[in-house]
A = this chain, B = another copy of it.
């Protein structure tokens, strides 16, 4: 079995590579070089049979991820399948199943079965949660428990898995020394930190990284190297603990590539706007251009209830500065679990951020869509606008609600300035006055 990375290095054009090249409208021989050097990944588990492959990385359209999954209080798989349907309908490029409640194995299998887009997970959640479900402590989790969960997720078809391999004893020591405001906000990072401090051992995902690489290689699972020490508030951003972990992740990207395993790197988190560019540039050099998968970043801490907007601001900037993959943030962030409406709003906000960056980055097809939209707007062509806009359902709903679902100009009533200009002077007219 060859991974996508190994195939690309040998010049073999896989079916997946061809599909991605077509979807991105770039030549196969350009794409294959990016996959070969690791600046693009094609997360495509050999056991994810219904996957439509998608590339993530430099020079491609910015991708976005939506999280779903049961929790201990909400363990119903049908709710999550309904969310998955929404995720697909609203055009997220990837989804993560973060289930921690109900029959986690069965839920995962059902979700993968129903999922034609790239799918990922965080296996340590299951390993830790199952310990607790057995009335044991997370700190009593064995290394085998952890690798057992990882293997199960890989075998079932996860295209990528988040593994917090860079969270070392040294990084934790730096974290303790510098006294953060919010310490650790990554759930996986917290589980591991608890385990490492209690057991006074190094992170098994770091220490036994070769074992992880062997499993990932077997199924061609892309490792998404997690940032267990990502800042949980803007005051904690870009500190020594975060950057120490990033340095280790860079080391691990290098080792994964040597083993023929594809990698992405996960990034912050809460980051002030003026620190985003530096964070993206650091990741590029330290992690040898591995695709950067960012959570937000959230550019302020005070917008609970509106963090999809905070994340869209940070995500748009991040994606113009080097991030390739944006994890959505929903309006429910910091307040509760997202419902379907939150999922929709989170996806749309992330897609706006990604698309704004794609225009700025000159990604083929991006500005062209805006041009078609603008021409339709100018021509008062509402069907044309609906076709090009980011959410046709909402487009119709708002127009209906406003009573502007007519052929008329929607904003100014009878004093439409464009109409006047058009009528009197032959300049063209459009929909926004």
Annotate A281-319 by CB proximity to B: 1 below 8 A, 0 otherwise. Answer: 000000000000000000111111110111011001100
Q: Which residues of B contact A188 (CB under 8 A)?
A: 417
Question: In the complex, which residue of chain B has the Cβ closest to the Cβ of A181?
Answer: B374
| Cα distance A306–B181 in the bound complex, in angstroms | 33
Interface string of A418-433 (1 = CB under 8 A from B): 1011001101101111
A100 at the interface (CB under 8 A from B): yes
> Is A178 an interface residue when CB atoms closer than 8 A count as contact?
no
Tell me if A72 counts as interface (CB < 8 A to partner B): yes
Which residues of A does B touch, CB under 8 Å? 71-74, 100-101, 125, 128-129, 132, 137-139, 181-191, 193-194, 197-198, 232-236, 272-274, 299-306, 308-310, 312-313, 316-317, 320, 331-337, 348-349, 352-353, 355-357, 359-361, 367, 369-371, 373-375, 377-378, 385, 388-391, 394-395, 397-399, 401-404, 410-415, 417-418, 420-421, 424-425, 427-428, 430-433
Contact A306 B374 (CB under 8 A): no
Q: A139-B424, A398-B331, A413-B73 are in contact. Are A313 and B352 (CB under 8 A)?
A: yes
- Chain B residue, CB-CB nearest to A334: B432
| Selected A-B contacts with CB under 8 Å, 24 pairs | A181-B375, A184-B421, A185-B418, A185-B430, A187-B415, A232-B432, A234-B367, A272-B359, A273-B317, A274-B361, A300-B355, A300-B359, A301-B373, A301-B374, A302-B389, A303-B348, A304-B390, A306-B391, A309-B348, A313-B313, A313-B353, A334-B377, A334-B431, A335-B398
Residues on the B chain within 8 Å of A424, using CB? 137, 139, 194, 197-198
Chain B residues whose C-beta falls within 8 Å of the C-beta of A306 in the assembled complex:
348-349, 352, 390-391, 394
Q: Which residues of B contact A411 (CB under 8 A)?
A: 334, 336-337
Interchain CA distance A412-B335 in the complex, whole Å: 11
Q: Residues of B contacting A181 with CB < 8 Å? A: 371, 374-375, 378
How close is A31's CB to chain B, nearest CB, in angstroms?
24
Q: Determine the residue in chain B with the shortest Cβ distance to A73.
A: B413
Residues of B within 8 A of A193 (CB): 421, 425, 427
Verify B303–A390 contact, CB threshold 8 A. yes
**B398-A320 in contact (CB<8A):** no
Q: Is the CB of A302 within 8 A of B369?
A: yes
CB distance from A395 to the nearest CB of B (A): 5
A100–B413 contact, CB under 8 A?
A: yes
Report yes or no: A430 in contact with B232, Cβ–Cβ below 8 A: yes
Known: A138-B420, A352-B309. A273 touches B359 (CB 8 A): yes
